[in-house]
Amino acid sequence: MSALIIWMLRWGHVVGGAIWVGGYALLAFVIVPLMAHARNDALQQIAIGAVRLLTYTGMATICFGILLITRTRGFANLIGSEWGALVITSAVCAVALLGIGDGALRPALRSIAAGGDARPARRYALIGFAITVLAVGLMTRTLYAR
């Protein structure tokens, strides 16, 4: 039974992480560049909707991640181990991603619709994408970590 629970938690966590990576890739390399070329209300709504979805899936990734700690090496191993350093750094990445999405990218997307410069939105989407890729790298290292 316990193996099934760990598998379900890991599945939920990894799907949430995958949506985070894919969502930022779509925003950085497709949606925001398209918005820079042609002001389009539908695209604007899609972009804002995508950022909102990433906030919800991000929160789910974090919740599954915290539950996964209890089913893998536990909170007692968070301090003083490579495994703990990887999980804590990924948690910092996750909080930064939520902050970038809601605090920076969403307002920058709105300013494009108001005729503003698209470069800040592109920059935040690229930074977000880079952080998600880093987080996957850190997390997949956890299986081999001391």
Binding site for ligand HEM (CB under 6 A): 10, 13-14, 17, 20-21, 61-62, 65-66, 68-69, 72-73, 87, 90-91, 93-94, 132, 135-136, 139-140, 142-143
Report the residue number, 7 or 111, with the smaller CB distance to ligand HEM: 7
Distances (CA, A) of 19 to 6, 15, 76, 121, 130: 20, 6, 29, 19, 14
Report the residue number, 3 or 114, with the smaller CB distance to ligand HEM: 3
At closest approach, how far in Å is the CB of 134 from ligand HEM?
A: 9
Distances (CA, A) of 62 to 16, 29, 91, 98, 128: 9, 25, 8, 10, 16
At closest approach, how far in Å is the CB of 92 from ligand HEM?
A: 8
